């Protein structure tokens, strides 16, 4: 497991999971709409790109198609990352590992694609 024991990976996961849970509870107190967003979308919205990567690497999404779930601006995870000028490693990871499921031509509510946001 790349130098980490299964026990260490699970410990890392539990630390991450409880951090996410705490973050979720605080956010849902501030915004009742927030609780209905997927963990993947919340991770990207809050610039928690390591959490997004963890979800993918450990296959913790309920469905591979969750990469196309959109937020209130009509953006799925690739569009959100491009719009936020997210880390290029995260965008590359999505394109290389999730490409089969990812709608790369998706337009947001402003009719911009991920390519439009990236060029911006």
Q: What is the pTM of this model?
A: 0.66
Contact 54, 13 (CB under 8 A): yes
**Residues with Cβ within 8 Å of residue 34, at least 6 apart in sequence:** 24, 27, 28, 42
Q: At what angle do helices 49-57 and 88-97 cross, to 10 degrees?
A: 20
Are the CB atoms for 80 and 45 separated by under 8 Å?
Answer: yes
- Taking only the tens of pLDDT, the chain with its 120 residues reads 555 677 787 787 778 777 777 776 666 556 555 555 678 888 888 888 888 888 888 887 777 778 888 888 899 888 888 888 888 888 888 888 877 788 888 999 999 998 888 887
CA-wise closest residue to 80 among 89, 71, 88: 71
What is the distance between the alpha carbons of residues 90 and 32, in angstroms, rounded to a whole number? 28
């Amino acid at each position: 497991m790349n130098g980490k024991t299964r026990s260490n990976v699970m410990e890392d996961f539990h630390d991450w999971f409880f951090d996410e849970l705490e973050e979720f509870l605080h956010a849902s107190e501030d915004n009742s709409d927030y609780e209905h967003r997927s963990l993947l979308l919340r991770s990207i919205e809050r610039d928690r790109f390591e959490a997004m990567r963890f979800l993918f690497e450990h296959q913790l999404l309920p469905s591979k198609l969750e990469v196309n779930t959109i937020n209130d601006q009509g953006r799925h995870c690739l569009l959100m990352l491009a719009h936020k000028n997210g880390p290029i490693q995260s965008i590359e990871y999505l394109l290389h590992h999730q490409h089969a499921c990812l709608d790369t031509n998706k337009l947001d509510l402003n009719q911009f694609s991920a390519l439009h946001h990236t060029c911006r």
